[in-house]
Chains A and B, each alone.
Chain A
Amino acid sequence: MTDNSPLARLMTSPEGRLAVIAVAVFALMSVLSPDRFLSLQNMTSMAFQFPEFAILALAMTVTMLTGGIDLSVVGIANMTAIIAAMIMTRLTGAGDGTAVMLLALAASLALGMLAGLFNGLLVANLGLPPILATLGSGLIFTGIAIALTGGSAVMGLPPAMAWIGNSTILGIPTPLILFAVLAGALSLLLTRTAFGLKVQMYGANPLAARFAAIDITGMLIRVYVLSGALAAIAGMVVMSRANSAKADYGSSYLLLAVLIAVLGGVNPYGGYGRIIGVVLAVLAMQFLSSGLNMIGVSNFARELIWGALLIFVMIVNTWRPFARRT
């Protein structure tokens, strides 16, 4: 590209194009529905809505960087949330239950990591294709959640639990802060540590990574444990916002998480992906769905537009009509 104007430079990277799309969507919605879309109420409501599936998308991103995928994230989120909810409903006595809540949250995080470890062992030690390993384990985790509850919701959580999903700190919604911290930490982990470098190298070329004497088994296990932990955190946010836990909450989030990660420029075959891209993709999606909601478009049209956006971005990212065929 010989044109050196700032916009043209921005358009050469997938993240740049995504930033342009996010800003364009924001501007369009502001013009179409200025008094409602730009209201403070809408901004806070959006900030409460997206972190739960955005955190799942982060989990998906980590595994996709290694050329894998984690189809069990929603299963892990629901299973860990149900176990945390059961601990809380059994043990809560007097008070607002903060101590019990912390215990339950620690247990659910540990359980999420354990579930991730199970995935990691299947992928790294047994050599199962990630898509099948996590499809199978996801069914098992969902199955455990159904078997524990008989399919009904666990309710009666202590009041303290509502804090994670519904409160604000200095006027900023807590789930948004949680997502920002997780995204920032993950970005640092992937770009500034040896572990992150190994993940990127393995995703780009597994064979070369093996010959570079990278401990692939250990690295893959850590990736899936990380994904399990993120899924468990997403489960806590969902539980707090719904004030209950159920085996089939967020089942539509699975494909949405994959969609966001891919829209964010993450290569599903591994080797390329940046957290900033995923964040921009989440924002673009949320602006689009809230804005469409305000101008009275049904939820089903949102599905249509998400799918169309995904395909459009993929065409722009990969199709080079004038490039020479290899």
Chain B
Amino acid sequence: MKLDWTRNETLVAVVILGFCVLAALSDPGFLSVATLTDLLRNGIVLGVFAVGVFVVLVSGGIDVSFTAVAAFTMYVTAMTLNALMPWMPWWGALAVGMAVGGLLGAINGVLIAGFGLPTLIVTLGTLSVFRGFMLTFIGQKQITTLPPGMREFGRMMLLRGENADGSFYSLHAAFVVTVLVVVLTWFILNRTMLGRAIYAIGGSVESARRIGINVRGVQFFVYVYVGVLAGLAGTIHASMARVANPFDLVGLELSVIAAVVLGGARLAGGYGTLTGTVLGVALIVLVRNSLIVLGIPSTFQSIAIGCLILIGTGLPAWQARRAAARAA
């Protein structure tokens, strides 16, 4: 297979491979099951977020409120289940989380699809509204006793084992959820008319409208879907951390958008693949967790991520410019 160097996916995959080779050379212990499970665990919540952000970017919008949706959802879910439905099993807890997230997403959806407001501004506003509402009217104290369903989910492991040195490693069952989310979203985007419509709107709203796509309906679906995924991610985060801290997660939004854009999705919409998104998340997780293995102090983390964003988006932009100049 010939490598296509104009694609972000190739670039990111090569950088990840290079990073791993360098890391393995400087510390042979890097290539271990423990490192892998550690990285995968760190990618679970980020991955679910990234898939949601990717769908919004494909539709030509942007969402910065998803972290607030997740924080709101995990807090409210933990509180409601504790008070009203402690008997709820783990899958019920996740379902409640998805429902709460979907409701909040629907608020974004009404403002964007219904009123036709710009997506960046709406989600910037709802970011403050959701967070402010939760901290003012619902609570600011972290919930340390999670409902039984979430506790049960927090203890579920896919595999666990012991390293040569006697320490333990484990992979959380939530990893399966992330994989399912990726597969389901891939199916929606690539095998259904709805998915085609999302790409079409991202490409050109006017053209999509003229071929008979219900633009408002599809946009509404997109923001509800992102809300559902954000709610799911929040509930998983609380279950894995074994505490629902309302101050968690918010502040992560630009890193997630960075991961998705590194993977080749364009802010203008209509372009990008889920493979790229997964690779982008993998790269950000690697940089956030393993920079130290290369002998780079962790204080350089944000410089490294910043450089990656500039190179990852600059190279394709520069190539496109050169191609346009050659064509002219």
Is A165 interfacial (CB 8 A cutoff)? no
In B269-328, which residues have CB < 8 Å from any A CB?
297, 299-310, 313-314, 317-318, 320-321
Check A135 against B258 for contact (C-beta < 8 Å). yes
Which of A's residues lie within 8 Å of B, judged by CB? 71, 122, 126-129, 131-133, 135-140, 142-144, 146-147, 150-151, 251, 255, 258-259, 262, 268-269, 297-298, 300-308, 310-311, 314-315, 318-319
Check A139 against B132 for contact (C-beta < 8 Å). no
Check A307 against B127 for contact (C-beta < 8 Å). yes
Check B129 against A137 for contact (C-beta < 8 Å). no
A318-B267 in contact given A300-B132, A311-B126 (Cβ < 8 Å): no
In the complex the two chains form, what is the Cα distance from A128 to B268 in whole Å? Answer: 12
Nearest Cβ in chain B — how far from A24, in angstroms? 20
Interface stretch (choices B25-33, B111-119, B169-177): B111-119
Contacting residues, chain A, for B132 (C-beta < 8 A): 300-307
- The closest CB in chain A to the CB of B268 belongs to A129
Q: List 16 A-B contacts (CB under 8 A).
A: A122-B310, A122-B314, A129-B267, A132-B261, A136-B309, A137-B310, A140-B307, A142-B302, A255-B124, A268-B121, A300-B131, A310-B124, A311-B129, A314-B122, A315-B115, A319-B115
Interface of B is mostly: helix
Nearest Cβ in chain B — how far from A287, in angstroms? 18
In the complex the two chains form, what is the Cα distance from A304 to B72 in whole Å? Answer: 13
In the complex the two chains form, what is the Cα distance from A75 to B288 in whole Å? Answer: 19
Q: Which of A127, A306, A310, A319 is B317 in contact with, Cβ under 8 Å? A: A127
- The closest CB in chain B to the CB of A267 belongs to B118
Contacting residues, chain A, for B321 (C-beta < 8 A): 126-127
Check B129 against A139 for contact (C-beta < 8 Å). no
A303-B131 in contact given A127-B320, A140-B302, A310-B124 (Cβ < 8 Å): yes
In the complex the two chains form, what is the Cα distance from A268 to B117 in whole Å? Answer: 12
In the complex the two chains form, what is the Cα distance from A307 to B64 in whole Å? Answer: 13
Contacting residues, chain B, for A307 (C-beta < 8 A): 124-129, 132
Contacting residues, chain A, for B254 (C-beta < 8 A): 71, 135
In the complex the two chains form, what is the Cα distance from A140 to B135 in whole Å? Answer: 31
- The closest CB in chain B to the CB of A312 belongs to B125
Contacting residues, chain A, for B318 (C-beta < 8 A): 126-127
Check B317 against A126 for contact (C-beta < 8 Å). yes
